[in-house]
Structure 1
Amino acid sequence: MTLKDLRRLAAQGEGPRLEFKRSTGELQEALQTACAFMNGLGGRILVGVKPDGTLAGQQVSDKTLRDIAHALEGFEPPSRVDVERVPLASGLEILVITVPAAGGAVSLAIFDDRVEIWSAGALPSGITPEALSRKHLSVQRNPLIADVFYRAGLIEKWGRGTNRVIEQCRKHGIAPPTFEEITGATVVTFRAQVRLAVPPHETPHVTPHETPHVGAQAAKLLAACREPCARDELQRLLGLHDRMHFLRTYIEPLMAKGWLEMTIPDKPKSRLQRYRATAAGLAQLQGSRKS
């Protein structure tokens, strides 16, 4: 993760899948949060960040990293938790702890104009979403398994998987995919003219479970947010009861696209928090109605 990525993440403020800790003095609380994330939708913990999102930084010792590694070994069932150090200009560092969602499922969402593949967990340290579209370093999370697959002829060892996908897309006249990191998940999006065998008024089918989409329901949400609306009002509007499902499926994706924003971004958990459509969101809404 780059410093620019870190600043952008901290600017989002704390939420259901993002928490800030001032220092490793709060390491025990950070690990408790990691455990909660692991049992839910996953998320990120930024250690060295103030509650208002200011990057304070701290000295990160080898002992601290050993303590974290030792604590993670005690998690059952074992799960891949990424711990990354991001240096600041001051010489201090921010610890970024990325926790995958329970089960680490890969989800496929099919829409009229695109296919999205959501995979729990962030990219390996040193690899950015932009790097996946060009030549990049091959980082193997498990070298032993990678070596077995390589000897079996199932994979290469040169980090060309995403490049080969792009080559095949161009060969068949399909736009190359885009790669993103969104709240601890890696998202690959293929855009094309896809004809779906569903009635015109039905929502496209999503497998293996519901994942973020922008369709009729999201359009209804954006329309309601012409004026600031509370989360519970929006949930009732869509007839949804699960708060976390609502946030993950609608609010987070719309905010990530820049179509929805908080009225109190520096206090994401405020009881006075409201959501409103941005100019880009209203433009998207208008465009979808014309089409």
Structure 2
Amino acid sequence: MALPINIKELLNGQVIEWERLEFKRDWNPVPILRTLCAFANDINNWGGGYIIIGVEEHEGRPVLPPEGVAPERMDSIQKELTNLCQRLQPNYLPIAQPYVFQDKHILVIWAPAGDMRPYTAPDGLNKGAQRFSYIRSAASTIKAKGENLRRLQELTARIPFDDRVQQQATLKDLSLGLIRDFLNEVDSELFDQSATMPFADLCRQMAIAKGPDEQLRPVNAGLMFFSEQPERFFPRAWIEVVIREDEAGKRFSEKYFKGPLHIQLRNALSYIRNNIIEERVQKVSGRAEADRYFNYPYDAVEEALANAVYHKSYELGKPIEVQIWPDKIEVLSFPGPVPPVNARILAENRRIVARDYRNRRVGDFLKELHLTEGRGTGIPTMRRVMERNGSPLPQLETDEQCTYFLTTLPVHPIFEGDQVSDQVSDQVSDQVDPLVFKVIGICKTPSSRAEILDQLGFKNHFDNYKKYILPALDHDWIEMTVPDKPRSRNQKYRVTELGWAMLKK
């Protein structure tokens, strides 16, 4: 049964950090047992790791093409792996899957973080061998000693919130369609198998459900990504985008982005890119090339919002808030950063090296979808793209108790003084069919699709809907009266606050 990850990207370290990958040219029980113990202990809440057998390692990187494992040995290795894991205490069993990669047989062992830390393993296979707890340090497996052992003992049976079982949910709250969309997008071989395998087996294979057969329940991360309405289980787990049209904040419009985490993140980013981000070209005397600037570089906005989704606490009933002012964008999430990062480190603009993550499973799903990297690169990326654009550096803020995290992206200087509504209207006025603006006027009175197209003088065909109504929806000038059921026969369209602003202009 395949794993829920793209094997090519896994071997190249594109979605999983190198520290979470261990390459073995051949089956070597003792080192593999120690590494399994280390991944199960997951001292930094990385989410466990992967052991790839049949691939030689050089300075922490795979040597490709792989050496491979003889096909006739695969069954015996997997049986030996099962027996080997019985030496771990408490009980722990990883997920193993053979693959053919570049015409060679390899075995991938997925070792998710365990639920009963700390785990111990013997330092040898002889009877009476001494037991130790092992952990990962950079790309090595070491014995937990001193401060590391104390940290590990503090994690006893402490499971990050996103990896805990949600007792109020059942497997019926998970959507097979969303799961298969995810597997298809990450190009996992599990996608084809998921169409016919029992749903419970699929959830176990993806580690989004735990428990015995009679009490199998989804874990929180599974509901966050594969439930149609995760806010049923995590109050206010959505993104709020508020556009402030004046510095006093008295004139504003707001939009809520709900649904699975990756979908709401993408929808919020798409909305900001289409409605807020603006490019300006400046001619330079004596030079053929013009200078191009953005009011806010998209990559910086993407990193700021993705970091908020990754690192916020879903135990708290507080949404991610994006405040768009005439002179800045603020991204606010709760609580603040995980120690040792604090207000002083953020204020000093120092390089952040913390590797302890609040949401190990959320991070893995986002990385597999290429929505974040999770290698401590988010803040450096924001700084780099803001500097490259000629913008002031981003400002990072929290309080002494680390109760919130605020990222502020200042507007580029040549855009200072522009109003957000001016940005929107200037950006789209030359690109949108004039009849789209007539649609906004029609929707001052809630109207159905047929009524709108009839007033425009067109037949109720999808092509006409796509050309005249859909652009108004995409720019948030109109909205559905029944948003949860887009195809409802009672569906009508009405003007939004942003639409009223456009009508005034």
* TM-score (norm. length: structure 2): 0.33
Structure 1, residues 214-270: CA drift from partner, whole Å, max 9, x if none? 99678568x434xxxxxxxx66xxxxxxxxxx32249x97xx634867xxxxxxxxx
Question: Does residue 177 of the first structure (1) align with residue 260 of the second (2)?
Answer: yes
Structure 1 CA distance for aligned equivalents of residues 69 and 82 of structure 2: 18
Q: Percent identity?
A: 15
Match for 1:5 among 9, 20, 30? 9
Structure 2 CA distance for aligned equivalents of residues 203 and 220 of structure 1: 17
Question: Does residue 63 of the first structure (1) align with residue 76 of the second (2)?
Answer: yes
Structure 2 CA distance for aligned equivalents of residues 214 and 129 of structure 1: 36
Q: Residues 88 and 94 of structure 1 are in contact (CA less than 8 Å); yes or no, is this contact kept in structure 2?
A: no
Q: Which runs of 5+ in 2 are unaligned?
A: 117-156, 166-178, 186-190, 239-254, 263-309, 323-331, 387-392, 396-406, 411-505
CA shift, 1:71, in A, is: 0.8
C-alpha RMSD over aligned residues: 5.3
Question: Does residue 286 of the first structure (1) align with residue 394 of the second (2)?
Answer: yes
Aligned match of 2:30: 28
Structure 2 CA distance for aligned equivalents of residues 54 and 5 of structure 1: 14
- Matched residue count: 218
Structure 1 CA distance for aligned equivalents of residues 53 and 77 of structure 2: 12
Structure 2 CA distance for aligned equivalents of residues 58 and 44 of structure 1: 17
Change (3 A) 1:205 1:213: farther
Structure 1, residues 151-197: CA drift from partner, whole Å, max 9, x if none? xxx88xxx999244369689x95422236xxxxxxx898894459xx
Q: How does 1:107-186 map to 2 (within 5 A)?
A: 107-108=160-161, 117-118=162-163, 130-131=182-183, 138-140=199-201, 141=204, 147-149=213-215, 162-165=226-229, 174-178=257-261
Q: How does 1:1-291 map to 2 (within 5 A)?
A: 1-9=5-13, 14-15=18-19, 17-24=20-27, 26-41=28-43, 42-51=48-57, 52-55=61-64, 56=66, 57-59=68-70, 60-101=73-114, 103=116, 105-108=158-161, 117-118=162-163, 130-131=182-183, 138-140=199-201, 141=204, 147-149=213-215, 162-165=226-229, 174-178=257-261, 192-193=319-320, 204-205=334-335, 219=346, 223-225=349-351, 246-249=354-357, 257-258=372-373, 279-280=381-382, 282-283=384-385, 286=394, 288-290=407-409
CA shift, 1:70, in A, is: 0.7
Structure 1, residues 1-39: CA drift from partner, whole Å, max 9, x if none? 332332343786642x43222221x23211121123333
Q: Residues 24 and 51 of structure 2 are in contact (CA less than 8 Å); yes or no, is this contact kept in structure 1?
A: yes
Structure 2 CA distance for aligned equivalents of residues 30 and 11 of structure 1: 22
Structure 2 CA distance for aligned equivalents of residues 9 and 175 of structure 1: 31
Q: Residues 321 and 333 of structure 2 are in contact (CA less than 8 Å); yes or no, is this contact kept in structure 1?
A: no
Structure 2 CA distance for aligned equivalents of residues 144 and 192 of structure 1: 27
Structure 2 CA distance for aligned equivalents of residues 48 and 70 of structure 1: 20
Larger radius of gyration: 2
Structure 1 CA distance for aligned equivalents of residues 184 and 18 of structure 2: 28
Change (3 A) 1:148 1:96: closer
SS at match of 2:96: strand
Structure 2 CA distance for aligned equivalents of residues 260 and 107 of structure 1: 19
Structure 1 CA distance for aligned equivalents of residues 21 and 344 of structure 2: 25
Change (3 A) 1:276 1:290: closer
Structure 1 CA distance for aligned equivalents of residues 408 and 13 of structure 2: 32
Q: Residues 83 and 96 of structure 1 are in contact (CA less than 8 Å); yes or no, is this contact kept in structure 2?
A: yes
The one-letter code matched in structure 2 to 1:107 is: P
Structure 1 CA distance for aligned equivalents of residues 379 and 62 of structure 2: 23
The one-letter code matched in structure 2 to 1:224 is: R
Q: Residues 259 and 282 of structure 1 are in contact (CA less than 8 Å); yes or no, is this contact kept in structure 2?
A: no
Structure 2 CA distance for aligned equivalents of residues 97 and 188 of structure 1: 24
Q: Residues 80 and 99 of structure 1 are in contact (CA less than 8 Å); yes or no, is this contact kept in structure 2?
A: no
Q: Residues 40 and 101 of structure 1 are in contact (CA less than 8 Å); yes or no, is this contact kept in structure 2?
A: yes
The one-letter code matched in structure 2 to 1:58 is: V
Structure 2 CA distance for aligned equivalents of residues 105 and 128 of structure 1: 30
Change (3 A) 1:131 1:163: farther
* TM-score (norm. length: structure 1): 0.52
Q: Which runs of 5+ in 1 are unaligned?
A: 109-116, 121-126, 180-186, 196-201, 226-233, 236-245, 262-274
Structure 1 CA distance for aligned equivalents of residues 160 and 226 of structure 2: 18
CA shift, 1:146, in A, is: 5.7
